[in-house]
Amino acid sequence: MNFKNTLIAAAVTTALSACSGLAWADINIGVSLSLTGPGSGLGIPMQNQLKLFPKTIGGEKVNLIVLDDATDPGKGASNARRFVTEDKVDLIMGSCITAVAAAMSDIATEAGTVQIAASPVGIPAGKDKWVFRLPQSNTVMGHAVVEHMKKQGIKTVGFLGYTDAYGEQWLKEVTPLLDQAGIKLVATERFARTDTSVTPQALKLNAANPDAILVVATGSGAAMPELGLLDRGYKGKIYQTHAAASQDLMRVGGKAVDGTYVVSGPAVIAEQLPDSHPSKKVAVAFVQQYEGAYGPNSRNQFAGHAYDFALTMEKVLPMALKKAKPGTPQFRTAIRDSLETMGRTVFSHGVMNWTATDHWGYTNETGVMLKVVNGQFKVE
């Protein structure tokens, strides 16, 4: 073959490679999770599920770069900065803690890199172009809580929540729902994630004597405020948010938390779902995979989100690979566009349908109310 023919053959080979999907590099995903600190009860189950993440998607190798953010917004921001400047990732996933995810969002947006948050992080309208959420919004989950309170005949409620973004967003989003339901918010108390006692707050809430108290906390840290309320003699009903929908609540709280109401996505109670529920098959598949790897009753709300993240990637990355190659701005944009157009997708946690105007995706039917009975979650 002469030099001219060699050049022609090389050009044809290059063209064929381009037509085969434009994928000439590994897909890199940066993952920031709270593996230490108060949020570790959420981050570690997610990390466990991600150990089962597919090695290839769309014929391309996928690398997960997992870093610990230590439940610290500053560390989460540092991780995000590393992802976009050093690792040159195509996508960011994290964090499982709202305040940490919020600290990461500006960096992801600045870099034009999709962030799929593993927490219900609130971003001002119009500024969440690059941020999508795996968990349900607090409004969606709050809807389920308030509807349950109405059925229980609750007329007055106290609030005991974190001082950070997660607590404030719940307060902001549940207050109008309570107002619409004719339920009066009679006392509002806050505490820090690092607090080891809520005695002053519990005394004030007990003095207000509401019919129910909504505790807004996460993971293993959700039991402490509830135990504080009980220790100070509270006798009313106690509700917890979806960030408390894990075995950690019962492991730390013991028999004292029996009777607690917890809102959750459907993944945690997969087998209890009616056969007609759209998520039952997927939720059962998640539970079988996770508990097959980590043992009976190890399932976790946030591990389910990590499972749904894999489902998302298996649908979205092949769509993006048709438009651009990994490691480029065009591929990052293609991932965002694919998320907005992937259409109705059944998750273990409900039916997702992200669009250009809705980066939450879930409907009010998503939340499932659970009750702790003999140390286990039961559907209400």
Q: Does the structure show a pLDDT above 80 at 96?
A: yes
Same structural domain, 107 and 121 = yes
pLDDT at 18: 41
Return the SS3 of 125: coil
Same structural domain, 120 and 150 = no
Domain-embedded: residue 15? no
Higher pLDDT pick, 9 / 376? 376
Beta bridge partners of 216: 161
* DSSP assignments along 137-182, one per residue: PHHHHHHHHHHHHHHTT--EEEEEEESSHHHHHHHHHHHHHHHHHT
pLDDT at 247: 86
Alpha-carbon span 167 to 13, nearest angstrom: 56
Higher pLDDT pick, 10 / 169? 169
pLDDT at 20: 41
Higher pLDDT pick, 366 / 371? 371
Alpha-carbon span 36 to 44, nearest angstrom: 8
Residue 214 · residue 149 · CB < 8 Å: no
* Section 276-296 average pLDDT: 95
Residue 38 · residue 223 · CB < 8 Å: no
Domain of residue 326 covers 20-136+297-352
Q: Does the structure show a pLDDT above 70 at 23?
A: no
- CATH number of the domain that 87 lies in? 3.40.50.2300
pLDDT digits (tens, 9 = 90+) for 199-221: 999 999 999 999 999 999 988 89
Alpha-carbon span 93 to 335, nearest angstrom: 13
How many domains would you assign to the chain? 2
Same structural domain, 98 and 147 = no
Same structural domain, 238 and 179 = yes
pLDDT at 91: 98
Same structural domain, 132 and 51 = yes
pLDDT at 151: 96
Alpha-carbon span 343 to 323, nearest angstrom: 18
* Section 57-66 average pLDDT: 97
Alpha-carbon span 128 to 74, nearest angstrom: 20
Q: Does the structure show a pLDDT above 90 at 337?
A: yes
Domain-embedded: residue 347? yes
pLDDT at 24: 55
The C-alpha angle 89, 95, 101, rounded to 5 degrees, equals 95
Same structural domain, 258 and 202 = yes
* Section 227-243 average pLDDT: 95
Same structural domain, 248 and 147 = yes
Secondary structure (H, E, C), 62-85: EEEEEEECCCCHHHHHHHHHHHHH
pLDDT digits (tens, 9 = 90+) for 119-145: 989 888 778 999 999 999 899 999 999
Same structural domain, 176 and 248 = yes
